[in-house]
Each structure stands twice: as structure tokens, then as C-alpha cells.
């Protein structure tokens, strides 16, 4: 059994306090949620006040990574060591209980605290961007033109270890109280998920190219 299987014990910040049984701390659960989601929300302070910005993310080993334009305000702040919180959420459904009070949502989320470090070595940066692109659309990196030196210089890649991360999960049907079970009202779950659908070829494509398999990779039945 590796350390990844065991996971690390929660810190005071990552320990799930509300509805504690929903908290999960094992690497497998945390990694699976990060790998399924394609974007996260990054929280940091801008002039001492909280800001939350959505951005694509990926995972390599026990690190979460983001990228963007090298002059973007958020990336500059994070590169300079700003504390941040990266949160990833997958909405799995609406939970319609017999009482208004027990209505809920099914979801899987990860909250990770820490600081980002810039990947500056051009080869390491390029390898990481390839890893990201091929995770979402396997083989795309080999099909598209790779970044030249100038484009690579204009792109910042940041990485944060998942040292202080936890997952929170709610799943399954509503949890109504015993005295409400005979109420004359339907109870159940409306499932939800992010769906990718048939790719749309760019109207400015003047070469005859079929939609490649990698563009359909995220489509599920």
C-alpha cells in the first residue's frame, strides 16, 4: 500500500466540519474528482480582498496545475506566493425530499489550500501543457502546432501540491425523517452531469478534415 492509497490526515482547515461523514481524505477519491472536472475555481486575495476566478486545471501526480497568459493578474499574484484555495465541483443531481428542509444536491467537490509555484523550465513547461491537452483530448498535442518559444514565454504554468486537500461528497436519495415518509409527495433525485456533445467544425476550415477521435473523447453515452 502506497502513501497515495492511505492519504494524509486532514488539517484543521481541510477537515470537513458541516456534515462530517461527507468528508473524504484519500488520494484516490481526490484525484478522481480532479481528473473528471475540466475547470476549477481559484480563490486568492487581490488588494486584501477575496477574488474567485474560474480556470481550466489538470493534475499531475499529487499536484494540481493551472495555466494562462503570463501577464494575467491572478497568475502574477499566485506566482508571487499568494495563498490560494482551489475548488473543483461536480454537480451530480438535485435531491427532492418530502420536506423543503431536507432538499439537497448530490455533488463531489475538492477543496485544496496552498501556494502555487511556477514551472519555468521551457521543456518542463511544454511537457506539462502536453500532459494537460492529452488528458482532455488524447493525441491533440501531436495534431496541433506546438507552442513556439514566444508562445511558451507568454504562457505561465503554475503547480500546487495537494498537501492540504479534502473531498466532500453527497450521493443517493433524499434523507427524510421517519415521520415524513407517508407524505403525499414524490421524492427522488434529478441526476445532472456535464455533457460534451458532437464537435462542431470551425466555419473557416477550408480543408476537408473529419472530426478526430480525440475531439469525441469526452463524449459519454
Residues 171-190 that bind its own copies (CB under 8 A): 173-174, 176, 180-190
The answer to whether the beta carbons of residues 166 and 14 sit under 8 Å apart is: yes
SS3 20: helix
Task: Yes or no: say if 97 and 170 are a contact pair by the CB < 8 Å rule.
Answer: no
- Compare residues 4 and 53 and give the one whose CB is closer to its own copies: 53
Q: If binding is defined by CB under 8 A, does position 129 make contact with its own copies?
A: yes
Report if residue 141 touches its own copies, rule: CB under 8 A: yes
Q: Which residues in the 58-117 window bind its own copies by CB under 8 A?
A: 68-69, 71-73, 83-87, 89, 91, 94, 96-101, 103, 105, 107, 109, 111, 113
Structural Rg of the chain based on CA atoms:
21
Cβ proximity of 7 and 167 under 8 Å:
no
Beta bridge partners of 89: 109
Supply the minimum distance, in Å, between the C-beta of residue 69 and its own copies.
6
Question: Taking a C-beta distance cutoff of 8 angstroms, is the pair 92, 107 a contact?
Answer: yes
Q: Count residues contacting its own copies (CB under 8 A)?
A: 96
Taking the C-alpha atoms of residue 140 and residue 145, their distance in angstroms, rounded to an integer, is: 9
- By C-beta, is 4 or 174 nearer to its own copies? 174
Q: How many CB atoms lie within 10 A of CB 117?
A: 15
Q: Which of 135, 136, 139, 161 binds its own copies (CB under 8 A)?
A: 136
Q: Which of 20, 50, 123, 221 binds its own copies (CB under 8 A)?
A: 50
Note whether 149 binds its own copies by CB under 8 A. no
Applying CB under 8 A, does 193 fall inside the site for its own copies? yes
Amino acid at each position: 500500500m502506497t502513501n497515495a492509497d492511505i492519504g494524509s490526515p486532514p488539517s484543521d482547515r481541510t477537515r470537513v466540519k458541516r456534515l462530517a461523514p461527507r468528508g473524504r481524505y484519500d488520494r484516490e477519491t481526490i484525484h478522481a474528482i480532479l481528473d473528471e472536472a475540466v475547470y476549477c475555481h481559484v480563490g486568492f486575495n487581490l488588494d486584501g480582498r477575496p477574488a474567485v476566478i474560474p480556470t481550466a486545471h489538470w493534475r499531475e501526480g499529487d499536484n494540481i496545475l493551472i495555466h494562462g497568459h503570463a501577464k494575467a493578474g491572478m497568475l502574477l499574484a499566485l506566482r508571487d506566493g499568494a495563498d490560494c484555495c482551489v475548488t473543483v465541483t461536480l454537480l451530480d443531481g438535485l435531491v427532492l425530499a418530502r420536506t423543503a428542509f431536507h432538499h439537497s444536491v448530490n455533488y463531489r467537490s475538492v477543496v485544496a489550500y496552498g501556494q502555487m509555484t511556477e514551472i519555468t523550465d521551457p521543456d518542463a513547461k511544454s511537457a506539462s501543457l502536453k500532459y494537460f491537452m492529452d488528458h482532455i483530448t488524447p493525441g491533440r498535442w501531436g495534431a496541433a502546432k506546438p507552442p513556439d518559444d514566444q508562445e511558451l514565454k507568454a504562457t505561465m504554468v503554475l503547480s500546487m501540491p495537494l498537501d492540504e486537500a479534502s473531498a466532500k461528497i453527497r450521493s443517493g436519495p433524499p434523507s427524510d425523517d421517519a415521520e415524513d415518509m407517508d407524505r403525499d409527495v414524490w421524492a427522488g433525485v434529478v441526476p445532472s452531469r456535464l455533457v460534451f456533445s458532437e464537435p462542431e467544425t470551425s466555419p473557416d476550415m477550408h480543408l476537408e478534415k473529419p472530426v478526430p477521435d480525440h475531439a469525441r473523447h469526452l463524449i459519454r453515452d
